Amino acid sequence: EAGVTQSPTHLIKTRGQQVTLRCSPISGHTSVYWYQQALGLGLQFLLWYDEGEERNRGNFPPRFSGRQFPNYSSELNVNALELEDSALYLCASSLGRTENQPQHFGDGTRLSIL
Amino acid sequence: EDQVTQSPEALRLQEGESSSLNCSYTVSGLRGLFWYRQDPGKGPEFLFTLYSAGEEKEKERLKATLTKKESFLHITAPKPEDSATYLCAAGSGANSKLTFGKGITLSVRP
């Protein structure tokens, strides 16, 4: 069974640019989550999508946004990049909206802002 | 606000030296306590879910336990391949959000 896949694996951008990260969930999973893992801060919850709808978002500014497609894959968009956006962006998926189902993670996209 | 605290930040063990990793949580309406393992350059790998106080789960050299305020990950006779960062996360409410601790970096020397 293929796991969660994310692309690209690495990305270098400059301040003010925009970036799109992509995620394909495990087959059969309908919920997709995005997390930011910055150095020394641990994983911070960004967004949760289920059945094409945004269900919850963390304490991040509106320039962080995303969407989920009919095939349950997802994109995370970050506009007006800032230096502090440098981090590992992790996508996870789970079976539906059951609150206590484990989330399974991809290997992330490493974003560096110069 | 939900909070998860892990201790110690780092732990160095000799191969075969058993120990425990601590995860303290303050969460309104715990829906599950999750343990993950993360290797450098990789995403977190799911290990266990615990749902209620008193529950225990085991996998090879790892055993996870849960109380009303804490969870422990016990490592029995660790091997160098157990070296990794271990993350604990609490799920609360109906919003599927996980609150993660900062992780414990475990190094096991041969």
Q: Is A114 an interface residue toward B (CB < 8 Å)?
A: no
Residue A48 neighbours by CB under 8 Å, 6+ apart? A31, A32, A33, A34, A54, A55, A56, A57, B95, B96, B97
Per-residue pLDDT at A98 exceeds 80: no
Place of tokens 């016990």: B74
Q: What is the pLDDT of residue A99?
A: 61
Contacting residues of B for A97, CB less than 8 Å apart: 96
Task: State mean pLDDT over B59-69.
Answer: 96
Domains of chain A: 5-97 (2.60.40.10)
Task: State mean pLDDT over A50-78.
Answer: 95
Is A43 exposed, middle or buried, given 0-12, 13-18 or 19+ CB atoms closer than 10 A? buried
Class level of CATH domain B3-109: mainly beta
Largest CA distance in chain A: 40
Q: What is the pLDDT of residue B29?
A: 82
**Residue A85 binned pLDDT confidence (cut-offs 50, 70, 90):** very high
Q: What is the pLDDT of residue A18?
A: 98
pLDDT in tens, A19-46: 999 999 999 999 999 999 998 788 999 9
Q: What is the pLDDT of residue A41?
A: 82
* Residue B8: cis peptide before it, omega within 30 degrees of 0: yes
**Residue A57 binned pLDDT confidence (cut-offs 50, 70, 90):** very high
Quote the Cα angle for A112-A35-A19, to 5°.
40
Strands (E), B1-110: 3-7, 10-14, 19-26, 30-38, 45-50, 56-59, 62-66, 70-75, 84-92, 98-100, 104-109
Per-residue pLDDT at B95 exceeds 90: no
The per-residue pLDDT of chain B, averaged, comes to 94
**A25/A73 Cα distance (integer angstroms):** 6
CB within 8 Å of chain B, chain A residues 30-69: 31, 33, 35, 40-45, 48, 50, 55-56, 58
Contacting residues of B for A45, CB less than 8 Å apart: 97-99
Domain ranges of chain B: 3-109
Closest approach of chain B CAs to the CA of A13, in angstroms? 20
Contacting residues of A for B36, CB less than 8 Å apart: 105
Task: State mean pLDDT over A75-103.
Answer: 90
